[in-house]
Amino acid sequence: MTLSERTIWKCLRNKELGAKFRSQFSVGQYVLDFYCPVKKLAIEIDGEIHNDPEMIKRDKKRTGFLNKHGIKVLRFSNDMVLSDIGKVLEEIKREL
């Protein structure tokens, strides 16, 4: 896990937000950073590579696949997680 993934995992594990999350959860051909099965909520933490035009296309395809399976995807940048974890957690709580 990256530093930002470890940072958010400390807040997601052990039902600290009131719902159980799993780390590195597989759905079809994709591995989600974090997933709450009960709420069908995926949390993706994106590094700089996700700004690449080809990666943006791949992420869009991946999100479409997940949405078709009833899974909502929240994406946060590494920088956002590390600089404003409170805002990230508030957005996750709203979705839960």
Cα-only R_g, the chain: 13
pLDDT digits (tens, 9 = 90+) for 29-43: 999 999 999 999 999
| Predicted pLDDT of residue 50 | 62
Cα dist from 61 to 5, 28, 30, 95, whole Å:
22, 13, 11, 22
Q: Are 35 and 43 in contact (CB under 8 A)?
A: yes
Q: 42-56: per-residue pLDDT in tens? A: 999 987 666 677 878
Rounded mean pLDDT of 50-72?
Answer: 89
Half-sphere exposure for 40 (CA within 13 Å, toward CB): 8
